[in-house]
Amino acid sequence: MRKDLDRLVDAAREAVCRAYAPYSRLRVGAAVLTTKGNIYLGVNVENASYGLTLCAERVAICAAVAQEGPEMRLKALAVVSDRPGPCPPCGACRQVIFEFGPDALVIFQGPDGLEEEPITRLLPAAFRLR
C-alpha cells in the first residue's frame, strides 16, 4: 500500500504542469487510486467565466468513472499544487470524494509537508441521500 501511495503522489506531481490555470495561476494536480488498482489523473481547468472552473480532484474522479464505470470506487486520492504550503481539497471535492470513496485516504499538502487523512475526518458530516 505504501508503494502505491508513493506512486500516487508522484503521479499527482507529474500532472501539475498540465493544469490550465491562467487566472489564479495556481496549478493543481490530483491522482486517484481505484479499488481495482488503477491510477487516473486530473488537473484544474479554469475558465474566463470563473465559476466554471473545475478542480483537479473532481477531474480525476470523473476520469476514473469514465474509464471504470459507475461502480468505480476510490481507495486513495492525492492532491498537490505547484506552490509550497497547504492545498487541501475544497469542500465540494470532499463531498465528491466521499461519494465514490467513503473509506478513501486523502493525501494533500499541509503547512509542513504531505498529510494523510481519511475522507471521513476531512468531511465528518458528509451528505447522504436516504
Query: Is 57 noted as a catalytic residue in this protein?
Result: yes
- Judged by DSSP in three states, 38 sits in coil
Torsion-angle region of residue 84: left (phi > 0), alpha (psi -120 to 50) or beta?
Answer: beta
Quote the crossing angle between the two packed helices 91-100 and 56-68, to the nearest 10°.
20
CB of 56 to ligand THU, least distance (A): 4
Of 21 and 64, CB closest to ligand THU: 21
Residue from 5, 26, 65, 126 binding ligand THU (CB under 6 A)? 26
Residue from 82, 90, 95, 120 binding ligand THU (CB under 6 A)? 90
> Cα(21)–Cα(45) distance, rounded to whole angstroms?
6
Subset of residues 50 to 69 that bind ligand THU, contact rule: CB under 6 A: 53, 55-57
> Cα(76)–Cα(90) distance, rounded to whole angstroms?
16
Q: By CB under 6 A, name the binding residues for ligand THU.
A: 21, 24, 26, 28, 44, 46, 53, 55-57, 89-90, 93
